[in-house]
Structure 1
Amino acid sequence: MEDYKTVLISDETEIEIKKSRFINMVFHIENEEAVEATLTQIRKKHYKATHVCWAYVLNTNPKRQKSSDDGEPPGTAGKPILDIINHRELKDVLVVVVRYFGGIKLGGGGLIRAYGGGAGDVINHCSIIKKQYSDQLRIVIHYPAYGSLSNGLLEKGIMPASEDFGEEVTLGFHIAVAETKEFLARVEDQTNGNVQVIMGEPAYVDVPEIVI
């Protein structure tokens, strides 16, 4: 399982090019059924639109992707949207660009710039997260070791996802699978081996992305 980037929530922007309105939308989706349901809602809402063009990429192995020009000249709408999604290395993402024709033709190059630009605009506007495939760990230690372990991990920018102060201290961590071995070695060193490690099932964890 590999880490990947996706959008956090749906978002929408709008641009106007030579009197045509381009309404740009992005959605987090995880299967084709969600794609179809979302497109059905958009077509119902924008039933007067000239074109509803779209592309999606799913986090599958191999990844599944598809696009539609919805009546625009072949390769001028769906592919530019798809190219932007892949350029940003996003998965589990659907981008839709709805066009209301304004009476002035844009030509092939103009359409490519408009649809690709619309996809880029809405992606730039939305929140991006990294889905990090992580080991779910619980670290159980005695109270005297808490300060030393916390400070040692904090120096490396590692903070617990949860803390429980009972008879002993239980700290929860989401650690990238590739980094688990190094993390556990550090914990052993900071606690002189006086630690209990409880391993849970690996899972994807949301990590905010500042730069995409």
Structure 2
Amino acid sequence: MIVEAQAVGKEYALGKQTVTALRNISLSIHKGEFMALAGPSGSGKSTLLNLIGCIDTPTTGTILIGGQNISGKTPDELADLRLNTLGFVFQTFNLLPVLSAWENVEYPLLQQPKVAKKTRQERVQHYLKVVGLEPYAHHRPNELSGGQRQRVAIARALATRPSIVLADEPTANLDHKTGEGILRLMKDLNQEEGTTFIFSTHDARVMEMADRVIELADGQIME
């Protein structure tokens, strides 16, 4: 198992109230899966994705990533895990506006001192080619369409060679045809490179393409 959630709960303080975002979630995800966490807004799917992505920590229960319990880890260890094991694709793309497509993809690799300059450049070139954006390498995000920006974000997520890519509503801001192309690209990468993809989504096309769909409602898995 590449991800295991065991009786996971998450609560937030909202003023004087306590909001329960997740309750008693247990879930195992196999290496190489292409899976979707589905459900309406407020169902807890983005919260669960953030917990798996080590952006947040559970209130109760444990999450194991590649067999490692993330609960006892220091902020530095979690940052290391995010950098070397996980890749992120967000619905808002989250690209750095002052950097070109090439520089955006290269950015996380610069945080990995063990990756030599030549290897870094080869990887950036490879993944820009994979997402079909080699001719746009020197364009900044404001010179690219929404679909192209999302492709840059995918190349950036893959450049560090993560074992898991977490995609939060990756087709939400794209038109139908572009969204379809982005999904097909991710599915191909999943099959060719064996990368595990975990989506949070309420897009029917993502659910259709997924190997498995886990439905959430009110912070719980629907059986």
TM range (shorter): under 0.3
Instruction: Please say which structure displays the higher CA radius of gyration.
Output: 1
Q: Which has the higher strand share?
A: 1
Q: Which has the higher helix share?
A: 2
| Structure ranking higher on relative contact order (CA contacts 8 Å, 6+ apart) | 2
